[in-house]
Amino acid sequence: MANTKYDKYFLREPWGKPNSAQPDPNAPVYIGIGHEKPVAGWDEPLTQVLRPIYFPYLMIPKPHQHNCAEILYFIGGNPMNFKDFGAEVEFTMGEGKDAEIHIITCTTWVYVPSNLPHCPLNFKRVDRPIMFGHIIFAQTYESTTDFRP
């Protein structure tokens, strides 16, 4: 069904591209909406990315911040039990003397307020695949991100 009144609300090809600036060129392809450009026909600002994680790697080596809030999520990859989380993730909130390193070993959502430095993000151990993603309720956003090590 195409070109109907409500067809614009169905996004059937939300495939993203690995960020070439990321430290691991073999990073998995992700599902993403609004990441590269706003979704045509959608009035609410939204960026969402969902990545399968199936091997350990340092995804983001340096702290960065955004001019809007962000929600990160780490979900077990077993579709019959999302609590089946087979990984250990190291995630830093804050920077310098205020930095806190958090170890994620279960399905977790993390709220990152606007302008709060966060990362590195390191998938230290992956025994079973998990899903990682982020949501930003903004049409576009600024970031101090520099993924280079």
> What integer is the mean pLDDT of 121-135?
95
User: pLDDT tens for residues 13-56?
Assistant: 665 555 544 556 666 666 777 666 677 777 777 788 888 999 99
Q: How many domains does the chain have?
A: 1
Residue 145 lies in a domain: no
Q: Does 149 have pLDDT greater than 60? A: no
pLDDT at res. 130: 96
CATH number at residue 37: 2.60.120.10
Residue 48 lies in a domain: yes
Lowest mean pLDDT among 27-31, 60-64, 93-97, 129-133: 27-31
Residue 3 lies in a domain: no
Residue 130 lies in a domain: yes
d(CA 105, CA 86): 8
In degrees and rounded to multiples of 5, residue 131 shows phi and psi of -115, 135
Residues 6+ apart with CB under 8 A from 5: none
> What integer is the mean pLDDT of 51-71?
91
| Residue among 54, 47, 53 at smallest CA distance from 70 | 47
Lowest mean pLDDT among 13-17, 76-80, 91-95, 100-104: 13-17
pLDDT at res. 18: 52
Residue 4 lies in a domain: no
Residue 7 lies in a domain: no
| Of residues 149 and 125, more confidently modeled | 125
**38: domain range?**
12-136
Burial label, 89 (beta-carbon count in 10 A; 0-12, 13-18, 19+): buried
Residue 34 lies in a domain: yes
- 23 and 8 Cβ atoms separated by less than 8 Å: no
In degrees and rounded to multiples of 5, residue 20 shows phi and psi of -65, -20
- 102 and 93 Cβ atoms separated by less than 8 Å: yes
